[in-house]
Structure 1
Amino acid sequence: MSHLRHIGAAIGTLVAILGSIMFISWKYFSGSRRHSEEEYSFLQESQPREKQILVLGLDGAGKSSILNCLATHTVKHSTSPTQGFNAVCIHTEGCKLNFLEIGGSCNLRSYWNLYLNKAHMLIYVVDSADQERLPLAGQELHRLLKEDLMLPLVLLANKQDLDGALSISGLHRKLLLHDLNYEQKLFLMATNVTEDGTQVPKNIHDVKELIIQLISQKR
């Protein structure tokens, strides 16, 4: 048992170090630098705008599968839960979207709020069919929103193709979204990434269009 405790402590330390490294990298690449007006004008014309998008949700919600669809336009049939961090970059016209997914296991959720102040948007993914853990998903979401009520939120009700999945209206009630005193844009969308499908579902394309539209409005 002592040996197992040492292993657990080592893993916890490794996750903490990795979290710190990712946090420093996130701040470095997304942080603003001071330039003269001439330099700033030149940079605006010569470089695409970069936007940071944070992707969160409990483990097993389907965050990685959705990101893979958004980035590659393909369906990945087998995706392991993210154990740490997953970064994905998508280039759009005049804008570079940097997605940072953080794993949803218990030991990683404490890091979530560290990344909010550098994000331009929050995507929160919920497993609509996992009704047992929906209260926990809602609790973690409300905890995040207490940190930043101004961050645009795209809430994805994922796995809508599974039996027992709650509808959009049912999920709205279950997550107590009516209790939110939210001061920024909030969108709730249904998604699914089918296990046997080869085509990316239309709802994933709709999500991507929404993200691009919302992020283009952020200055």
Structure 2
Amino acid sequence: MGTRPRPAALCGAALALAGGAALAVWAWARLRSRAAPPAARPAAAAAAAADQGKGHSKQILVLGLDGAGKTSVLHALATNHVKRSVAPTKGFNAICVNTEEFQMEFLEIGGSEFLRSYWKMYLPKVLLLIYVVDSADHARLPVAKQLLHQLIQNNSTLPVVVLANKQDREGAYCITDIHDALALSDIGDKRKMFLIGTHVAEDGSEISSSMKDAKELIAQLVLETQ
């Protein structure tokens, strides 16, 4: 497994299917022909976002170790702009993203060791799991792997999107290395699982192409999971 930095653009444009080592390019053109990017509004409370399941609401759980960049990723997905200097999530963070067809509720739970015990409680309530890993944090990838496998071992159908975040950092593992480090091939091919490289740019700028790809993939999976 190499440690050389790889071009983030290459990783951001490719998806790795967990059932095999081959990389597949997502058909983004079909998604981009849809409606304009959605507007976002803060959720009233994380608990309400987790418990709501009525109407056309689509709930998405965002998990990962502390420091993986979950909050920055969530902010980028919701607003289409970057905010890197955010405080670590101490508990729960919820944001709603509205589209013409449905509302997506992103619920983030902090990644500290204390909060990880709550992760499994919310899995039965969601349609999709987003799991964020720090591609440059080599030492903790085994922990990220263990927690991911424990999370989904009792749910063979929950779609999972793994975001190999911080691809712009020096020494970040590329998407194929992350695929191997998380042993995604061992999870099996009965579920929809995707791995996509992401990074956030400078504060205040528009989100990177890799984040746009991730956002469009998530929207497509939510549309298909009904």
Letter in 2 for 1:189: I
Letter in 1 for 2:225: K
1:153 maps onto 2:160 in alignment? yes
**What's the CA shift for 1:175?**
0.9
- Equivalent residue of 1:147, what SS? coil
For 2:191 and 2:97, how far apart are their aligned partners in 1? Answer: 24
| Contact 1:52/1:97 (<8 A) preserved | yes
**What's the CA shift for 1:120?**
0.2
Letter in 2 for 1:110: S
For 1:67 and 1:133, how far apart are their aligned partners in 2? Answer: 21
Higher RCO structure, 1 or 2 (CA under 8 Å, sep 6+): 2
1:209 maps onto 2:216 in alignment? yes
For 1:157 and 1:187, how far apart are their aligned partners in 2? Answer: 10
What is aligned with 1:118?
125
- Equivalent residue of 2:139, what SS? coil
- 1:60 is matched with which residue: 58, 61, 67? 67
Aligned length: 182
- Counterparts in 2 of 1:5-84, with a 5 A limit? 25-26=48-49, 28-30=51-53, 49-84=56-91
TM-score, scaled relative to structure 1: 0.79
TM-score, scaled relative to structure 2: 0.76
What is aligned with 1:6?
none
Which portions of structure 1, spanning 4 or more consecutive aligned residues, are displaced by more than 2 angstroms?
25-28, 194-197
Write the deviation string for residues 161-207 of structure 1: whole angstroms up to 9, x where unpaired.
00110011111111111211242100100000124672210111111
| Contact 2:81/2:206 (<8 A) preserved | yes
Q: Which has more radius of gyration?
A: 1
Letter in 1 for 2:91: G
Structure 2 gap segments, 5+ residues each: 1-44
| Contact 2:83/2:203 (<8 A) preserved | no
